Structure 1
Amino acid sequence: MIDIVKKSDCSGCYSCVNICPKECINIEVDDEGFGYPVINNEECKKCNLCEKACPVINDPKAEKIETIAYACRNKNEDIRKRSSSGGVFTLLCEEVIKKGGIVFGAAFDENYEVKHIGAETIGECEKLRGSKYVQSKIGNTYKQAKDFLNNGRLVLFSGTQCQIKGLKLFLNKSYDNLITSEIICHGVPSPKIFKLYKENLKNKYNSNIKDIRFRDKALGWNKFSYVTEFENNKIYSKTLHEDIYMKGFLHDLYLRPSCYECKAKNFTSNSDISLADYWGIEKKHSEFDDDKGISLVLVNTEKGKEIFEKISCGMEVIKSDIGYAISNNPCIVRPVKYNKKREKFFKEVEGKNLEHSIMKYTKTTLGKRVKDKIQSSLGKLRER
C-alpha cells in the first residue's frame, strides 16, 4: 500500500490511481499546489498493485538498444515555428494518426490548466504541441491508453520522464502497438504558482486569457518568449530572462519536491524515444543551426528506431554525439539541484505579492555574479 512519508517520494504520475482495482486512491492537493495519493483504508484490499506501479520505487523492464542521438528539424517551417524546438513531435503524431491511432499528451483546458488528453485527429494534436511549464494531470489516461491498446489501436503516449515510467509500470507488459515518447524535463513547477501568475496577468490586463505560449519564437529559439494573449486583444510578451514566472522556474524555486531527486532520469523510463531541445547545437553542428529550433532526438529502443526511420523523410537529420548532447542538457541523466530558498518562498508567497516573492528569492548576490563572470571567462579561454 502506498504510504507517502516524504513528499519527494511521489512524482504525481497517477499510476497508483489508475491501477487500483477498488478505485480507493484519490489525489489531494497540498498547500504548495501539488497532488498526492490518499488511500481509503476501509476500501483498500492490500493488493499492493499501487506499490508495484510506482516509478519512484520501481523500474520497468529494460528493452534498450544503445541510445543514438540525432539533431533534427521539421522540413515544414510553419510547424517548426509553432513548435518548442524542431517540430519532431508533430511528425510522430502525423504518423500515428495516419495509421488510425491515438496520441496522448499534455494540453491546456478551458481554464488554462494542464491535463493529459487523447487526440485522434491532426487538429486535436495541435493542442499537445508546445511546452507547458507546469505539471500535467494524467487523470485516467493510463487506463484509456490501455483500453485502446487492448482493442488493437496504435497508441503514442507523450509525457515527462516520470509519467512515461509510470505508464510502463502501470501496463506491466509490452505492447507492440504502443510508442512512448518522453520529454526531457527540467522539473515541473507548481500548478498553484502558475494559477497565481495567471490571475495576476488577468488582473493587470483586465481581461480573460485567450492563448498562452511558453516558447514563442518571435525573437528566436535561443531567446524564446513567454506570451499571453487576452480576449481584449492585448498581448503580454517577455523573454525567458525577463518573465517573472520563467525566472522562478529556471531558478528551480517552485518545482515538485520529487523533481530534485528524480528517479526517472538516465533512461530508466525505457521510453522508445526521448525528445529535448538540442542546446549547444551551434558549437557542434553550426551549419545546422538557424535559431528556429532544433530537436535532440534520442532513439532508445528497436521500436523507437523503427518509428524514427518512418518519420525521417519529413525532417532534416544529423547523427550526433550523445555525450556532447548530455553535457549541454544534463537533465537527460540527472535532476536539478534543490533550491535552498524554496521552503521560505512557499511560506511567504501566501501573504505577499507573487512577483515580489519571486524577485526576492531569485535575486543574484554580488558574489554569485562575480563567480559566474569568472567561470564564463574561463570557459571562453578554454574554447580558444
Structure 2
Amino acid sequence: MNTRSESSSFASLLNAPLRVIALRNTDDASIASSASGGAFVVLAHAMLNRGGVVFGAALLKSGRVEHVCAKNVSELRALQGSKYVRSDVADTYGECYDYLSRGVDVLYSGTPCQIAALRSYLKKRNVTNLPGSLVCVDLICHGTPGQEIFKAYISWLSAIERTDDGIHGYEFRNKLMGWGLYYYYYYYRSGKRHEKLGQASDDPYYSAFAKGIIYRKCCYSCPFARIERAGDFTVGDFWGIEDCHPDFYDERGVSAVLINSIEANEFFNDYCIDKCEWIDSTVENVIARNGNLAGPTKRSEEQEQLAKEVEKAVAEGDYDKAFGVLLKPRLSVTARIRRLLPWKAVRFLYTLRR
C-alpha cells in the first residue's frame, strides 16, 4: 500500500467527515496526560463505561511500541499521548475480532493505514454479523519512523547519559511546559535519579521526526493522507485554533475531531457530549495547520539522502554517527544552556518567558 493506486481496494472503507469540532476534555488530569485536548480519552472512557475494551499504541518498558488492549481506566493510561514510532499491531486484529464475536464492544485507535487494514481484515470475516460494535479512531498522521531507529536512538541516549539501567518514562508530548512538542524522560546514574525535559528542536530523533526526515519510505506516498478517512473518528492537535477560534484556545491543548460516520455521531452524542467542551468548526480550519489531511509529507532529495545515511549508520550499529553527527541539531546558545539545566530550572525559565 505504498501508492494511491494501491488504495483503490480501500475506497469503500473511506468516508468524508460529516462534522468537525474542536474539543477539550473537562477532566484536568486527562488533558494533562494527553497530547492535545484529550479527545481520545473522552472516546475511550465512553467505550469502557459501556463495558467495552480499547486498543491503542503503548510504549513498553522494553522500548518497543506495540498495540495493546485496555480493559479499564488504569490500563488506558499507557495508550494516552503520542508515540512517534510505528506501532506493532501484533495479534490485535484477531483479538478485536474475538471480542466482537463475543458481543464485547471495541474501540480501536491507530494510524489511518492501520485502521484501513483492520477494517479490511474484519470485512473478510463478515464483521457486520457480529454481536459486538466497533468504533475506529484514526490519527492525523505525519508519518512514522520504524522501530529499529527508535530502538537505536534510545540505546544511544542511554549511552550518552551514562545510565545505570537505560531510559525510563519517555514521553514525546509532555505538558510540563504546556501544549507543544516537548519531550521528557528520566534515568538513574550511580543510583541517583535525573530528569530531562526539552524541546523537539533540541533532540536529534525528535527534530528529525518533526522535519519529516526519518519516516518509513511508504509514508511519503501514503494513500491515506487525505480528508476521506478510514476511522469513524479522526483526532489530532488543533494547531492554529488561536487564529480561527481564539475564544476556545487553551494553553493545555485543544483537539481537532472529525466525525466521519453516522454511527460516530450517534456515539458522540449519546456517550461523550457531557464529558467535554466542544464547538463546531470546519475542515478548512483544521487542514490549515494539519497538511497531512490533504496529502502525505514530502521530503527533499537532500533529506532523503540524509535518511539513507542514517539508516546505514543504524544498521551498522554506529549510533554516534546516526544521532551525534548526521542528525545532530544545530543548537542556539540558549538551547545549549537549556540542555545543561535540570528540568525544573527549564520549566521555571519557560514560565518566566510566558
TM-score category by the smaller chain? Answer: 0.7 to 0.9
Mapping 1:75-114, distance limit 5 Å:
75-114=26-65
Matched, 1:141 2:109: no
Does the CA contact (< 8 Å) of 1:64 and 1:302 recur in 2? no
User: Across the two proteins, how many residue pairs are aligned to each other?
Assistant: 313
1:217 aligns with 2:183: no
1:210/1:346 CA distance change after superposition, 3 Å: closer
Amino acid at match of 1:283: D
1:122 aligns with 2:44: no
Q: For the structure 1 residues 137 and 65, does the alpha-carbon distance in structure 2 shift closer, same or farther, using more than 3 Å as the test?
A: closer
Change (3 A) 1:331 1:344: same
Aligned position for 1:158: 109
3-state SS of 2:193 partner:
coil
Structure 2 partner of 1:332: 293
Aligned CA distance change for structure 1 residues 152 and 285 (closer, same or farther; 3 Å) = same
- Alpha carbons 1:155, 1:178 under 8 Å: kept: yes
Superposition map of 1:1-384 within 5 A: 9=2, 56=7, 58-59=9-10, 61-62=12-13, 64=15, 66-172=17-123, 173=126, 175=128, 177-203=133-159, 204-207=161-164, 208-222=166-180, 224-231=181-188, 232-309=192-269, 310-338=271-299, 339-341=303-305, 342-349=307-314, 350=316, 351=318, 352-359=320-327
Alpha-carbon distance between aligned partners in 2 of 1:56 and 1:135, rounded to the nearest angstrom: 20
Higher RCO (Cα < 8 Å, 6 or more apart)? 2
Cα gap change, 1:162/1:359 in structure 2, threshold over 3 Å: closer, same or farther? same
AA partner of residue 179 (structure 1): V
Q: Determine helix, strand or coil for the equivalent of 1:318.
A: strand
- Give the aligned partner of residue 337 of structure 2: none
SS in 2 for 1:95: helix
- Between the aligned residues of both structures, percent identity stands at 30
Give the structure-1-normalised TM-score. 0.76
Q: How far apart, in 1, do the equivalents of 2:260 and 2:24 lie?
A: 19
2:268 partner letter: F
Q: Which structure 2 residue ranges, 5 or more long, are not aligned?
A: 332-354
Equivalent residue letter for 2:154: K
Change in CA separation of 1:322 and 1:57 when aligned onto 2, cut-off 3 Å: closer
Unaligned runs of 5+ in 1: 1-7, 12-53, 365-384
The answer to which structure has the higher helix fraction is: 2
State the alpha-carbon separation in 1 of the partners of residues 49 and 326 from structure 2. 45
Determine helix, strand or coil for the equivalent of 2:115: helix
Instruction: Give CA-to-partner distance per residue, 1:256-296, whole Å, 9 cap, x none.
Output: 11100001222454310000100000101111112111000
Shift of 1:235: 1.0
Compared CA separation, residues 205 and 311, structure 1 to 2 (3 A): farther
Letter in 1 for 2:322: L
The TM-score with structure 2 as length reference comes to 0.82
Alpha-carbon spacing, 1:297–1:247, altered in 2? closer, same or farther (3 Å): same
* Cα distance change of structure 1 residues 66 and 198 upon mapping to structure 2, 3 Å threshold: closer
